[in-house]
């Protein structure tokens, strides 16, 4: 049987291109055959019948490739506007590790000073074990990034950053890196392909923690790499086969099911986040609130220019410092005290509870992932928790 991952062609209706919200629903479906299923099957097989030399596109062994990955890989790549199928991994970190493999021993990588802490930990590990020069930059400071990328093998950007929500000028940074021959990767986990299109803005590679918005229900851990460059795609596939961090079939099936409602979930959680951020900005018990939707936010103008949504993560510093922040986490009853983000349920945590979080992240910063609940219920719970924390 030959089921080579197909180069994604965006589904069209009467030759008209479809909007991203429709692509999320329509891409990666089986052919419309009479009596055929509307959803792709899950194939539970670690190996495939094979004799002699493997022919191009022929399935052989599931660590190398399986048809169960293809519908999700095709749908995600179509959403990101890639001409190569996506490459699914067992976690976002496995996908990021594959991207870091582009940096040779003794090479140089530029990363955000604030980024997912394990991504930064991975870069530090490359420095310690392979003599890689790691330069941390404020991605919102365009001059600083441009001053750092000369001679780099990779510029890895998160935007908005985790957890500080700094917004990078992606079109400018990516164009400058391309001019100087620096490979670029954008972690698009926070924005999702509905909020930001890094490949169209000039990125070589996009990476995702599929665990978050793409799957959307806090029930799987999964990652993906997306690129339009066939050579990079081949390298990432070879890396996956060699290192073996492959996705399980059920996880990929769940991620595709989650992807079907991405537009609805993102629309609702972004609207909730913007409203909650607006109310927090006027709240007497709030020291600082960060969300790119706020006209006063340092990233607002740039996000409005380069993104198609402001995302649903809020940075909140309640009045009263670290103790007040911890008390808010204790007091909420609807918001879930938990790490991770991008699920249908709203959650929050104080990031510096982790000893590994960057020391420039304020001690009292709560990272809030706004979900799809009724906004008034979310607000009532949060407002009550802020008041209770102030009184405790
Ligand atoms: C922005 C970002 N990238 C990557 C990751 C890593 O993804 P995973 O937990 O799926 O390995 C995370 C996890 O929180 C994240 O927030």
- Domain locations along the chain: 83-254, 262-391
Please give the distance, rounded to the nearest whole angstrom, from the Cα atom of residue 58 to the centre of ligand 1. 32
Instruction: Give the confidence band of 5 by pLDDT, cuts at 50, 70, 90.
Output: low
The listed CATH number (3.50.50.60, 1.10.132.20, 3.40.50.10680, 3.40.640.10) that belongs to domain 83-254: 3.40.640.10
Q: Which residue among 94, 160, 161, 162 has the greatest number of ligand 1 atoms within 8 angstroms of its CB, and so is best to mutate?
A: 162
- Asked if pLDDT for residue 4 goes beyond 70, the answer is no
Please give the distance, rounded to the nearest whole angstrom, from the Cα atom of residue 215 to the centre of ligand 1. 13
pTM for the whole thing? Answer: 0.97
Percentage of residues in the chain with pLDDT exceeding 70? Answer: 98
Dump pLDDT digits (tens) for 149-158: 999 999 999 9
Please give the distance, rounded to the nearest whole angstrom, from the Cα atom of residue 87 to the centre of ligand 1. 16
Judge whether 322 and 349 are in contact, CB under 8 Å: no
pLDDT for res 304: 98
Dump pLDDT digits (tens) for 268-302: 999 999 999 999 999 999 999 999 999 999 999 99
Dump pLDDT digits (tens) for 192-215: 999 999 999 999 999 999 999 999
> What does the pLDDT average to over 19-25?
97
Instruction: Give the confidence band of 17 by pLDDT, cuts at 50, 70, 90.
Output: confident
Pocket flag, ligand 1, residue 120 (CB < 6 Å): no
- Asked if pLDDT for residue 63 goes beyond 80, the answer is yes
Measured distance CA(385)–CA(271) in Å, rounded? 21
Q: Is 140 exposed, middle or buried (0-12, 13-18, 19+ CB in 10 A)?
A: buried
Pocket flag, ligand 1, residue 187 (CB < 6 Å): yes
Pocket flag, ligand 1, residue 163 (CB < 6 Å): no
Which CATH fold topology does 262-391 show? 3.90.1150
Pocket flag, ligand 1, residue 223 (CB < 6 Å): yes
Ligand 1 atom with the smallest distance to the CA of 212 is: 10
Please give the distance, rounded to the nearest whole angstrom, from the Cα atom of residue 93 to the centre of ligand 1. 6
Dump pLDDT digits (tens) for 240-251: 999 999 999 999
Tokens 């409203």, located at residue: 275
pLDDT for res 8: 74
Bond prior to 123 in cis (omega within 30° of 0): no
Q: 47 pairs with which residues across the strands? A: 61
- Asked if pLDDT for residue 135 goes beyond 90, the answer is yes
Ligand 1 atom with the smallest distance to the CA of 221 is: 10
Ligand 1 atom with the smallest distance to the CA of 95 is: 11
Measured distance CA(89)–CA(151) in Å, rounded? 29
Dump pLDDT digits (tens) for 332-345: 999 999 999 999 99
Please give the distance, rounded to the nearest whole angstrom, from the Cα atom of residue 300 to the centre of ligand 1. 24
Mean of all residue pLDDT scores within the chain:
96
Cite the active site residues: 63, 116, 187, 212
Pocket flag, ligand 1, residue 343 (CB < 6 Å): no
Judge whether 385 and 331 are in contact, CB under 8 Å: yes
pLDDT for res 80: 98
């Amino acid at each position: 049987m030959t089921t080579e991952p197909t180069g994604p062609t965006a589904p069209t209706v009467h030759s008209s291109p479809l909007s991203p919200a429709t692509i999320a629903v329509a891409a990666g479906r089986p052919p419309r055959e009479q009596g055929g299923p509307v959803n792709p099957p899950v194939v539970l097989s670690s190996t495939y019948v094979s004799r002699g030399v493997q022919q191009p596109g022929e399935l052989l062994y599931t660590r190398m490739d399986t048809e169960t990955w293809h519908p999700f890989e095709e749908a995600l790549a179509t959403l990101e506007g890639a001409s190569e199928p996506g490459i699914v991994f067992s976690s976002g970190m496995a996908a990021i590790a594959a991207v870091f493999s582009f940096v040779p021993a003794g090479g140089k990588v530029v990363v955000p000073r604030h980024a997912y802490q394990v991504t930064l930990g991975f870069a530090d590990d490359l420095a310690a074990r392979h003599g890689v020069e790691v330069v941390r930059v404020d991605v919102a400071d365009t001059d600083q990034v441009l001053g750092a990328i000369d001679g780099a093998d990779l510029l890895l950007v998160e935007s908005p950053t985790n957890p500080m929500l700094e917004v990078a000028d992606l079109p400018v940074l990516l164009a400058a890196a391309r001019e100087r021959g620096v490979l670029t990767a954008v972690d698009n986990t926070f924005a999702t392909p509905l909020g930001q299109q890094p490949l169209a803005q000039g990125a070589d590679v996009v990476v995702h923690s599929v665990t978050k918005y793409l799957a959307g229900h806090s029930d799987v851990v999964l990652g993906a790499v997306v690129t339009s460059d066939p050579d990079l795609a081949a390298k990432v596939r070879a890396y996956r086969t060699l290192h073996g961090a492959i996705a399980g079939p059920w996880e990929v099936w769940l991620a595709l099911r989650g992807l079907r409602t991405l537009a609805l979930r993102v629309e609702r959680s972004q609207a909730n986040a913007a409203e909650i951020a607006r109310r927090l900005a006027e709240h007497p018990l709030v020291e600082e609130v960060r969300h790119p939707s706020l006209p006063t936010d340092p990233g607002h103008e740039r996000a409005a220019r380069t993104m198609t949504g402001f995302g649903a993560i809020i940075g909140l510093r309640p009045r009263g410092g670290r103790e007040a922040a911890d008390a808010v986490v204790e007091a909420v009853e609807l918001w879930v005290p938990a790490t991770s983000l991008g699920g249908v349920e709203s959650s929050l945590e104080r990031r510096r509870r982790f000893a590994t979080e960057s020391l420039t992240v304020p001690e009292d910063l709560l990272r809030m992932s706004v979900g799809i609940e009724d906004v008034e219920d979310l607000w009532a719970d949060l407002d009550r928790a802020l008041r209770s924390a102030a009184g405790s």
